[in-house]
Amino acid sequence: MSWFESLILGLVQGLTEFLPISSSAHLRLTAAFAGWHDPGAAFTAITQIGTETAVLIYFRKDIARIVSAWFRSLTDKAMRSDHDAQMGWLVIIGSIPIGVLGVTLKDQIEGPFRDLRLIATTLIVMGIVLGIADRLAARDETGGRHRAVKQRKTLQELGVKDGLIYGICQAMALIPGVSRSGATISGGLLMGYTREAAARYSFLLAIPAVLASGLFELKDAGEGHVSWGPTIFATIIAFVVGYAVIAWFMKFITTKSFMPFVYYRVALGILLFVLVGMGVLSPHAGESAG
């Protein structure tokens, strides 16, 4: 991998990690469109350490409060009813599904799941799911001629059941094209949470899974055509860009809908099917050399 490739892929990772459009799919597609080798699952996981570092810094006050309350709850029974302490347990519980499936499906994640036809399918299907979830949220927030405004749930109302459902949604993102934030935000909206609550918990829930995945894949960073230098460079670029995207996205969702992302996902998925069907792109473009 050249330094230029790592620069572009780092930018793509930072721009797409927190948007509901799938960073892993865009890294895969960028390489395929450019005629580069597939950067692979290990490169994707490691560069995500950069974007998750941005999450740690952006939400540092929330994270410090949750971690502190969780540790105190281990010895202080009175703290176990504290919302922040409960959030700590909910993040742990929600991380179990992706941890188990990530290890179980490792070979599929690095192989068959990277087929461009599967990515096109997940882009379209999960785009439609996100669109439905967004419309339901909008209907509750605005009401209508014959419908009163419905109060949506906040993170104060998050319990074990919903936390586990969030975790299952996050585990679906092991398939490129699904999108970690897209799946968890869709799940949150369908369960009745506000856009801001769904996005905030999505980012917090991703921290253990993404950091663990990135650290696990560190051993493979220097294998194949991807070397340490470009990987570290791409990770730094992803961190800088990712922080800016978080700040923008958290403001965007307070007043805007997710429909632009829905249209983009569906359009990209259809384009990908057309290009593969016409033979312009091979469904396994770049894999053999990667």
pTM (predicted TM-score): 0.87
pLDDT band of residue 214 (cuts 50, 70, 90) is confident
CA-closest candidate to residue 190, choices 131, 233, 143: 131
What average pLDDT score do residues 64-85 get? Answer: 93
Q: b or e along 9-47 (b: 16 or more beta carbons within 10 Å of the residue's beta carbon)?
A: bbbbbbbbbbbbbbbbbbbbbbbbeeebbbbbbbbbbbb
pLDDT digits (tens, 9 = 90+) for 133-151: 999 998 888 776 667 778 8
pLDDT digits (tens, 9 = 90+) for 276-286: 999 888 887 65
Q: How far apart are the C-alpha atoms of 259 and 132, rounded to whole Å?
A: 9
pLDDT computed for residue 109 by the predictor: 78
pLDDT computed for residue 42 by the predictor: 76
Strand partners, 147: 144
Evaluate whether 43 touches 33 at the Cβ level (below 8 Å).
Answer: no
Query: Is it the case that residue 224 has pLDDT exceeding 60?
Result: no
Domain ranges of the chain: 3-35+44-278
What average pLDDT score do residues 57-71 get? Answer: 95
**Residue 282 DSSP code:** -
Query: Is it the case that residue 186 has pLDDT exceeding 90?
Result: yes
Query: Is it the case that residue 62 has pLDDT exceeding 50?
Result: yes
Place of tokens 């929330």: 62
